[in-house]
């Protein structure tokens, strides 16, 4: 007994000797930024402030002063509050035990379930698979949404953006996908969403079955910006853990825009200059750093679906623009479809999967092209049809679309709780086309 105690004491002494200088003081608090003196640390390291040990992250260094952004509420922290260095960056627990769990933006359980004891801890930053070590996107991943699986097919390891204005149906489409996909596990990052929606999402949309094969990471809009920012990395790191075990993981992030907005707040607090529409340069460095981590790897894959809010339905908004250039496909949702009650509100003609050819057969492509041609022809003559000026026979594709308009829309529309596996969707599409 004494032996163990002596050993423990020696171990504690050794740990203390090896750790960096740990105690310092708060010297000033301006806005969100806490300046600390007397603690050694590098950018990205975690410190703990005050008696409540509020975690904060070092974001910039000036001489022996560290500027830190808090990962918790700053109440009760003032000049001279003690600060403890932890000697390293934020880590999270990863393991099979994460399946079915709901975590906060720092990877801690928030579902009242058991603590995550005995799991490995890993840093949230990680390297993306090397360009040449990456596999190619060749296997389809069924999402359970007919319009997507046939017309905007998704491959294992693909990264796709869901672009839409507010309230057009991004989150609803995401919840359809979490229930409909055949991915072994989904990691869902809810960043900057309203608290009310989160509960609805977990209890109604995901349900116990969906949750059992998911891990949910949540940082609602009331969380400090750094927690919202980290949530995206935590979700990505957890997806990487399951991928490294050989799984084809589906990573859903709602929303990428709010993650970028969190980086904007962090960057501005750290003294960066605002550039494009108030976004500092670090925002544009963040996007590839985060998005490149999804993709096919030598073992397993991460298929990434990221919602992108296009403000004022302006599709050239800088975040949407930057995301589009990195991603391998985009799904565009259309407000007019949503207001007319056409859900999911996917604008098929404005949605593209850059891997469609690699993940479909020749027959499937033929059917998809036939439907796309009809939709395009119908769009071209729609105004003429509406004013009664269209003369039948002018455009054969448009005529065919008009004959098949009801079955086409029955195919494209899908109730929230209706899951159609991809093979069934292809059969349904052939049946629609056979009708005329
Ligand atoms: N498949 C659907 N069936 C019926 N109604 C739907 C469907 N999808 C979306 N809606 C309607 O559209 C509304 C907005 O959808 P949703 O919350 O998914 O949009 P959003 O783009 O995520 O919005 P925000 O930008 O506010 O996050 C929902 O409240 C719902 O009424
Ligand atoms: Mg939403």
Ligand nearest, relative to CA of residue 145 = 1
Give the Å distances, CA to CA, from 407 to 177, 333, 411. Answer: 23, 21, 6
CA distances (Å), origin 93, targets 90, 235, 304: 10, 12, 21
DSSP of 382-407 = HHHHHTT-PPTTS-HHHHHHHHTHHH
Q: Is 393 helix (H, G, I), strand (E, B) or coil?
A: coil
CA of 171 to the centre of ligand 1 (A): 6
Q: 164: which 2 tokens?
A: 């839409």
Q: Which atom of ligand 1 is nearest to the CA of 168?
A: 21
Q: Which atom of ligand 1 is nearest to the CA of 333?
A: 21
Q: Which residue, judged by its Cα, is nearest atom 4 of ligand 1?
A: 343
Q: Is the peptide bond before 182 cis (omega within 30 degrees of 0)?
A: no
Q: How far is the CA of 39 from the centre of ligand 2 (A)?
A: 41
Cα 97 to middle of ligand 2, angstroms: 28
Q: How far does residue 415's CA lie from ligand 1's centre (Å)?
A: 12
Going residue by residue through the chain (436 aa), what tens digit of pLDDT does each one get?
Answer: 455 666 777 776 666 555 555 689 999 988 888 999 999 889 999 999 988 889 999 988 988 899 999 998 888 888 889 999 998 999 999 999 999 999 999 999 999 988 888 889 999 888 888 777 777 888 999 999 999 999 999 999 999 999 999 889 998 899 899 999 999 999 999 999 888 888 888 988 888 888 999 999 999 999 999 999 999 999 999 999 999 999 999 999 998 999 999 999 988 888 888 888 888 999 999 999 999 999 998 889 999 999 999 877 676 788 999 999 999 999 999 999 999 999 999 999 999 999 999 999 999 999 999 999 999 999 998 888 888 888 888 889 999 999 999 999 999 999 998 999 999 999 999 999 998 7
Task: Map tokens 């769990």 to a residue.
Answer: 101
Q: Are 349 and 374 in contact (CB under 8 A)?
A: no
C-alpha 432 to ligand 2 mean position (Å): 32
> Which ligand number lies closest to the CA of residue 173?
1
* Mutation to probe ligand 1, out of 145, 147, 172 (largest number of atoms < 8 A from CB): 172
Q: What would you report as the CA-atom Rg of the chain, rounded to the nearest whole angstrom?
A: 25
Q: Which atom of ligand 1 is nearest to the CA of 176?
A: 1
Q: 166: CA distance to ligand 1 center in Å? A: 9
Q: Which ligand is located closest to the Cα atom of residue 170? A: 1
Q: Are 129 and 256 in contact (CB under 8 A)?
A: no
For atom 31 of ligand 1, which residue has the closest CA? 169
């Amino acid at each position: 007994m004494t032996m163990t105690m002596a050993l423990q004491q020696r171990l504690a002494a050794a740990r203390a000797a090896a750790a960096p200088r740990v105690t310092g003081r708060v010297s000033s608090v301006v806005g969100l930024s806490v300046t600390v003196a007397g603690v050694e640390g590098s950018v990205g390291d975690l410190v703990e402030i005050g008696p409540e040990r509020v975690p904060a992250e070092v974001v910039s260094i000036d001489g022996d002063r560290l500027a830190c952004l808090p990962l918790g509420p700053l109440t009760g922290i003032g000049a001279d509050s003690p600060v403890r260095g932890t000697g390293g960056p934020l880590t999270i627990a990863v393991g099979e035990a994460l399946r079915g769990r709901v975590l906060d933006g720092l990877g801690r359980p928030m579902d009242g379930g058991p603590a995550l004891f005995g799991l490995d801890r890993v840093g949230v930053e990680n390297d993306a698979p090397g360009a040449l070590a990456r596999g190619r996107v060749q296997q389809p991943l069924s999402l359970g949404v007919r319009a997507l699986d046939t017309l905007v097919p998704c491959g294992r390891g693909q990264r796709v953006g869901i672009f839409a204005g507010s309230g057009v149906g991004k989150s609803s489409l995401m919840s359809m996908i979490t229930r409909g996909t055949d991915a072994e596990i989904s990691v869902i990052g809810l960043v900057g969403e309203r608290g009310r929606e989160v509960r609805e999402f977990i209890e109604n949309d995901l349900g116990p079955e969906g949750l059992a094969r998911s891990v949910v990471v949540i940082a609602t809009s009331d969380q400090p910006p750094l927690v919202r920012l980290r949530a995206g990395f935590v979700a990505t790191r957890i997806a990487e853990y399951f991928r490294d075990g050989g799984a084809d993981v589906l990573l859903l992030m709602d929303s990428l825009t709010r993650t970028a907005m969190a980086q904007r707040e962090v960057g501005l607090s750290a003294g960066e200059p605002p550039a494009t529409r108030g976004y500092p340069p670090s925002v544009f460095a963040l996007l590839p750093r985060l998005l490149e981590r999804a993709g096919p790897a030598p073992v397993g894959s991460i298929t990434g679906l990221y919602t992108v809010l296009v403000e004022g339905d302006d599709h050239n908004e800088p975040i949407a623009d930057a995301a589009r250039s990195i991603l391998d496909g985009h799904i565009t949702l259309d407000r007019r479809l949503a207001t007319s009650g056409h859900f999911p509100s996917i604008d098929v003609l404005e949605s593209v999967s850059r891997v469609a050819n690699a993940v479909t057969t020749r027959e499937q492509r033929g059917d998809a092209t036939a439907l796309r041609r009809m939709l395009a022809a119908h769009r071209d003559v729609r105004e003429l049809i509406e004013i009664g000026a269209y003369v039948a026979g002018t455009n054969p594709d448009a005529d065919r679309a008009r004959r098949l308009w009801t079955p086409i829309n029955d195919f494209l529309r899908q109730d929230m709780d209706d899951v159609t596996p991809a093979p069934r969707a292809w059969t349904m599409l052939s049946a629609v086309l056979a009708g005329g």
